[in-house]
Amino acid sequence: MTTINLPDADVPELSGTVNLADLEALGRARLDRNALEYYASGANDEVTLRANREGFRAIRLRPRVLVDVSNVDVRTEVLGLPLACPVGIAPSAFHGLAHETAERGTARAAASAGSLMTLSTFSNTPIEDVARDAVGRLWFQLYPYTDREASADLVRRAEAAGARALVVTVDAPFVGRREPNERHRFALPPHLGVPNAGSREHLARMESESGSQLVNYFQGLVDKAFTWADLAWLRSVTTLPIVLKGILTAEDALLAAEHGAHVWVSNHGGRQLDTAVSSIEALPEVVEAVEGRVEVYLDGGVTRGTDVLKAVALGARAVFLGRAALWGLAAGGEAGVRRTLDLLQDELRLALALCGKQNIGQVGRDLVRL
């Protein structure tokens, strides 16, 4: 497949963006209703969707002064992989709705920024193609299928392609009710497929006279009986570290650690169970429960460098961007995603300096007031 290059010069509007809100506005303006509603919608009344942002706003920082911050270092690492800053890309389906480069554009941006991309099972691009562009900076997200051998094949493909971890989404045995998608019958346009989750023809057969095509497809694909006991089977088919994405309680975090899995705090961007606790609210009890035995990550509502700083202060090793990366992709393809990551890194560096911290390792609970 030929690589498509989109330098900043080809997207002059990006130079005028100074924060992620600017990129979101630009990205939204370039999407049709089908794509915009799919990316933007939350479950039901979108209470949890809003709470993800409000949770960060409610936390206050406690800056220290008279510290030498002439050289501030925002680098960290996740599962041994160095990151330029504690920000990665969360798994999200159908990047092809945002831009013609789809997941490959996102992967190239993450790689060039020294970040990390998590590829969704429901990507519009084959694992192998994305892995080549990610150049070692790739995790793969899995929805456990009812067909165990199909799941095992996906995992083996991801591992062979160079994925460094397996992220299992555990909060979606059913798809949350996203009413705009139901009302307007969300469907993929004809030119997009789901090469890691079945054929285009299979997807078309799941269409019905009402509702979201994704919901209709998903319901027959994902194993609704997958439990903690099945993690042993998953470990038997891969040597990759396993991360469980969608944990919001101390009880489940403790179980994850006992099963040797890392913990990703997430409410699926407010798209699953409405009125569930926000990710940043859930983070402290999760961190306390695992007691440093496994790494902890977070997504949901991150749009500022101060959000990243607050999450790290509360014990997250890194945060991951869902919608924010998609808005960047829609705004300018690879260059738009890179702009998203660069803006957050710059904001984080400034926030760290203004809090009197010289590096990420110095950030702890003393930095925040809940």
CB 368 within 8 A of CB 356: no
In DSSP notation, 16-83 reads: G--SHHHHHHHHHHTS-HHHHHHHH--STT-HHHHHHHHHHHH-EE----S---SS-B--EEETTEEE
Cα distance between residue 253 and residue 285, in whole Å: 9
Per-residue pLDDT of the chain (370 residues; tens, 9 = 90+): 233 334 444 678 899 999 999 999 999 999 999 999 999 999 999 999 999 999 999 999 999 999 999 999 999 999 999 999 999 999 999 999 999 999 999 999 999 999 999 999 999 999 999 999 999 999 999 999 999 999 999 999 999 999 999 999 999 999 999 999 899 989 899 999 999 886 445 545 444 455 666 677 777 788 999 999 999 999 999 999 999 999 999 999 999 999 999 999 999 999 999 999 999 999 999 999 999 999 999 999 999 999 999 999 999 999 999 999 999 999 999 999 999 999 999 999 999 999 999 999 999 999 999 9
Residue 184 bears catalytic tag: no
Which residue in the list 95, 99, 262, 268 is annotated as catalytic? Answer: 268
User: In the chain, what are the domain boundaries?
Assistant: 8-369
In DSSP notation, 261-308 reads: -EEEE--GGGTSSTTPPPHHHHHHHHHHHHTTSS-EEEESS--SHHHH
Architecture of domain 8-369: Alpha-Beta Barrel (3.20)
